[in-house]
Amino acid sequence: MANNLPIRALLLIAVLITGLAQSLVLWSSFELHLGDLLPLLGTYAGDGGDSLATQLMLELRLPRTLVAALIGANLAVAGVQVQALTRNPLASPTLLGINAGAACMLALAVAGLFGLAALPLPLLALIGGTFSALLVLALGGYFRAQPSPVRLILAGIAITALLSGLTRAALILSEDMAYSMLHWLSGSLAQVDWDSWHQLWPLSVPGLILALLLGHAFNLLALGEESATGLGIRIHWVRRLAAISVVLLCTASVASAGPIAFVGLLVPPLCRTLFGNDHRLLLPASALTGAAFLVWADLLSRGVAFPAETPVGVITALLGTPFFILLAARSHR
């Protein structure tokens, strides 16, 4: 398998680059071609870039493509960390209620409650996601010496249900914004722009770097907590740092495009099959795979009912549900 890793990595990069290029030109009311990418590259080199096609790609398509790729990487890396911490291949970032907490806080702000509308969206998402994650982790005994995965799952289900109910109540109170909020809660990239990109990357980059630095610790943690402790790993610090990384990655993604499901569940097992269980390789591979997956899913969401758009969260759910059933059946066996 090790001999095939460079080839698989190159194929993965090729799939990602192809998806990025196609995302810039496909499914547009204005006819675009791959040849129009050359003037776009010339814009960054300081050569021209005044055509309508170039401006369209630069102002509308490029930020959407970059946001899709970074959100895909965020959610996939967050999924790897949650599965490593819980040692459960069926775990995902939604287990911690982060998406539900961030979405609830943003819904309350849109409804004009508690004066939250005055705060920037990334800060609201960070507050909501952090609060819900801490609540789930505390109730689930995550910070104890020997946390129970079952108790953590039950706490996540309960808190997510509570926050989802509060989100629906906020939608009822804001009838004029209900449709746009429902579209956003489905996970949509239709409204992203350069402002979304500038809100996304400051939280995403530290979260990704922190996750990559924890790769060796996750490898030792897979041997068991007693073995990891004997090898010099401070498990409490690993848990805390991983929780910070997951919160940063998920809240930044939710603030930009709403809660997008199944990316953090689907990508890590696929990457384990292709690249093995070494987290030092698994984490960057999952980031690239998650980016490629969401870019292609966004392309599909644009083309399913063109010129109308389907929320990308619907596409990831349709792709992820049968995979989850298959994964659950394999885990049972």
Q: Looking at residue 69, what is its pLDDT?
A: 96
Distance CA 34, CA 2 (A): 35
Do the Cβ atoms of 188 and 313 come closer than 8 Å? yes
Q: Looking at residue 331, what is its pLDDT?
A: 62
- Read off the pTM: 0.90
Per-residue pLDDT of the chain (333 residues; tens, 9 = 90+): 566 888 889 999 999 999 998 888 887 767 776 776 777 666 554 555 567 777 788 888 889 999 999 999 999 999 999 998 888 877 888 888 888 888 888 888 877 777 777 788 778 888 888 889 888 888 887 777 666 777 888 888 899 999 988 888 888 777 666 677 777 788 888 888 899 899 899 999 999 999 999 999 999 888 877 777 777 788 888 888 998 999 899 988 988 888 898 899 889 999 998 998 999 999 999 999 999 999 999 999 988 877 788 889 999 989 888 887 877 777 655
Nearest to 139 by CA among 123, 125, 153, 119: 153
Q: Which two three-digit tokens encode residue 275?
A: 């690249």
Distance CA 132, CA 155 (A): 10
**What separation, in Å, do the N-terminal and C-terminal C-alpha atoms of the chain show?**
24
Q: Looking at residue 228, what is its pLDDT?
A: 75
Q: Looking at residue 126, what is its pLDDT?
A: 83
Q: Looking at residue 1, what is its pLDDT?
A: 56
Distance CA 79, CA 324 (A): 14
Do the Cβ atoms of 264 and 82 come closer than 8 Å? yes
Distance CA 40, CA 208 (A): 28
Distance CA 307, CA 285 (A): 33
Q: Looking at residue 286, what is its pLDDT?
A: 96
Name, in order, each residue with C-beta under 8 angstroms of 148's C-beta and a sequence gap of 6 or more. Answer: 140, 141
Question: Hey, what CATH class is 63-332 in?
Answer: mainly alpha
DSSP code per residue over 240-266:
HHHHHHHHHHHHHHHHHH----SHHHH
